[in-house]
Structure 1
């Protein structure tokens, strides 16, 4: 018996397609695709979620001092003149950050090997290019998804059959996080 489905693609095309579908599933919570693709994506996604559940509490909180530019009421940087040049004024701030322990860091890197980078673009037309931000999918897995499934032993996804696709009559399904 085969370990995976070839899905009519070469290996690099197949891996890219499965990475894209897995990224979309983790980012959006559900995707619509064919039944065979969904079964392959399910294997990958459940592995990532199991990894996140295992390592979700494996970090320590550290206080760090950081230099941050001082800003005025409009949100612009405050500048003062020194030796005839305008120089930005900085202030020291203490921040709490999560520092991954080695096993969680390894899990994060394994997740990044599978997941693509996601950029969130606002729906409004004005300032779309300027207001884009990167989504940290491993952090989403650790902080949002893993706590939901902490008491579960597998079975993190559900496949619901929708019906046949009009063009080629392939069975379409909805793959969602439970």
Structure 2
């Protein structure tokens, strides 16, 4: 559990802050995105991420610990059945805070805190050894290999082939995302 902050609490005493953050977390899990002050969003982030980590575990003890914080069974059910499977591959960073300017009435800095539910794409490791070895490991197509053009080396051709493969993979990812929608 994170260390409690020293100094003034959000809206009053520590009990009121705990309830306020629990209500903000419940609203975040229900609506997937909420608009609040920057300070509240920054204080909400560690709590929400910890609750999502419990939801990813998915066992009874984790459910009861989340229920002790939030208190609303419907919100806990949504967290465990809908949100946790969407972030199962993500190792952290389940929330995103975006500053949106100041509130009209009291000029308080506002922010939108939202859940990051996009699927995680693994980073492609690019090094000179893997770039040269990748085309050699691929199965040979029916077409004969083209000879390098004048002034073009085998390394240049391998890099061009790797770029073509990467663009095909990116097109497949976009097609999958569009199919999911």
Provide TM-score, normalisation by structure 2: 0.57
User: Partner of 1:136: helix, strand, or coil?
Assistant: helix
**1:146-161 paired onto structure 2 within 5 Å:** 146-161=84-99
- 1:47 lines up with 2:2 in the alignment: no
Provide the residue aligned with 1:29 in structure 2: 32
**1:100-119 paired onto structure 2 within 5 Å:** 104-117=59-72
CA offsets per residue over residues 52-101 of structure 1, 9 Å max, x none?
1122xxxxxxxxxxxxxxxxxxxxxxxxxxxxxxxxxxxxxxxxxxxxxx
CA offsets per residue over residues 88-141 of structure 1, 9 Å max, x none?
xxxxxxxxxxxxxxxx11111111111132xxxxxxxxxxxxxxxxx6222222
- Number of matched residues? 112
| 5+ long unaligned stretches in structure 2 | 117-181
- 1:172 lines up with 2:173 in the alignment: no
**1:50-129 paired onto structure 2 within 5 Å:** 50-55=53-58, 104-117=59-72
Provide TM-score, normalisation by structure 1: 0.58
Quote how far apart the aligned CAs of 1:16 are. 1.4
The answer to which structure, 1 or 2, has the higher relative contact order (CA under 8 A, 6+ apart) is 1
Quote how far apart the aligned CAs of 1:30 are. 0.9
- For residues 4 and 19 of structure 2, the distance between their equivalents in structure 1, rounded to whole angstroms, comes to 18
Quote how far apart the aligned CAs of 1:8 are. 4.5
Task: Please say if residues 4 and 40 of structure 1, whose CA atoms lie closer than 8 Å, have aligned partners that are also in contact.
Answer: no
Provide the residue aligned with 1:13 in structure 2: 16
Structure with bigger strand share is 1
Provide the residue aligned with 1:4 in structure 2: 5
User: Partner of 2:40: helix, strand, or coil?
Assistant: helix
| 5+ long unaligned stretches in structure 1 | 56-103, 118-134
* CA-based RMSD: 1.7
Quote how far apart the aligned CAs of 1:40 are. 1.0
1:140 pairs with 57, 78, 92, which one? 78
- For residues 136 and 37 of structure 1, the distance between their equivalents in structure 2, rounded to whole angstroms, comes to 23
